[in-house]
Amino acid sequence: EKSLANIRNQIEQIQSGIAMKNDEMGTELIDQLTLEERDLLSRLNPEITRLKEKFLSCKNSRIEIETRKEELENNLSTNLMRRQKELEAIISSADSKTLPVEVEAKEQELKESKRTLDEATTVLKANVDAINAHTRQMEQLKKQRDDLKALEANLEQTVQDGAKDLEQLMSSRSTYLVKQDECMKKIRDLGSLPADAFETYKRKNKKQLQKLLYDCNEQLKQFSHVNQKALDQYVNFTEQREQLQRRRAELDAGDEKIRELISVLDQRKDESIERTFKGVARHFREVFSELVQGGHGYLVMMKKKDGDAGDDDMDEDAPREADPEGRIEKYIGVKVKVSFTGKG
């Protein structure tokens, strides 16, 4: 019983301790610190963060260095050590008698290399000289290009000036052409002129021509009631009449050809219709005779003659003469003639 009481006391103490610890765990640690400790903690936090970052960088560097170390150790163990062993084997196997021969061969290779080097140097020097020559040539070409550009600019300016002059000349030409048209119109208004009119008055000066023109105008006033363009109008009307006559002849010839074509087409149309009707009538007669034993039937085209209806038997295969008025236009229908007994 005493042990049980002691155990219960211990249990109560442990439970109270647990409650105290739980209370401590529910409160922040910073609440239990003093002001100095809080200030120190605020100063140490950035330093702790920086040291953590430095620790991480050092850790990464250590990993990279260890990786590089392993690579170098592998290279040393796989390549360099093996190469060392090979060289030691070559040195140990080398004979004092073969060394001079190898030395002489190496010297010969060295001479060949020097000669090759000299040749390459000569070729390089030649290439450098060629490059320098091409460079000078390029400079000359650039200079020529600049000169050509300057010349081109001058030529463009000259062309522009020429274009302006040409534009002025074209304007003057247009003005003179208008004046020429006006003068030609005045000349046409004068009517027909004799062939030697220009030769007669070519050597006269302007005053003489003006005096002659004045005299002629005074004389023309006496004939103001006369149609001065009658001759020109007669010539024009005559030419128009001839053109119209030629056009009429062409139209008459074309009309005649069209009429001939229409006649031929009408004839072919009539022949085609008659030929088709003959085939239909023949098949009708054959089919009817098969359907009706001892009977016979016919298809007859009904033709109008002088106002009365008449029959036209088209069963004949003989060609017919062409009717200028057309045969089909004279037909007014189709008649069926049948006999079931073969009589009547």
- Residue 319: its pLDDT value, please? 47
In a domain, 268, yes or no: yes
Mean pLDDT within 283-295: 91
Lowest mean pLDDT among 10-19, 63-72, 75-84, 110-119: 75-84
In a domain, 53, yes or no: yes
* Same domain (yes/no): 146, 206: yes
Mean pLDDT within 194-206: 72
Element (H, E) at 64: helix 35-75
* Same domain (yes/no): 136, 212: yes
Domain that holds residue 192: 124-221
* Same domain (yes/no): 334, 240: yes
Asked which of 194, 221, 248 is the last residue of a domain, the reply is: 221
Q: Whole-model pTM above 0.85?
A: no
Render pLDDT for 149-182 as a digit per residue (tens, 0 to 9): 888 888 889 898 988 999 999 988 899 889 888 8
* Same domain (yes/no): 286, 264: yes
In a domain, 240, yes or no: yes
Number of structural domains found in the chain: 3
Query: Is the Cβ–Cβ distance between 338 and 281 less than 8 Å?
Result: no
* Same domain (yes/no): 51, 15: yes
Render pLDDT for 53-72 as a digit per residue (tens, 0 to 9): 888 888 888 888 888 888 88
- CA 13, 14, 17, 23 dihedral sign is negative
Q: In the sheet that 331-339 helps form, which strands lie side by side, from edge to edge? A: 308-312, 296-305, 331-339
pLDDT at 82 over 60: yes
In a domain, 50, yes or no: yes
Mean pLDDT within 323-330: 60
Query: Is the Cβ–Cβ distance between 281 and 314 less than 8 Å?
Result: yes
* Same domain (yes/no): 132, 200: yes
* Same domain (yes/no): 128, 165: yes
Render pLDDT for 233-261 as a digit per residue (tens, 0 to 9): 889 999 999 999 999 999 999 999 999 99
User: How do 308-312 and 331-339 pair as beta strands?
Assistant: unpaired
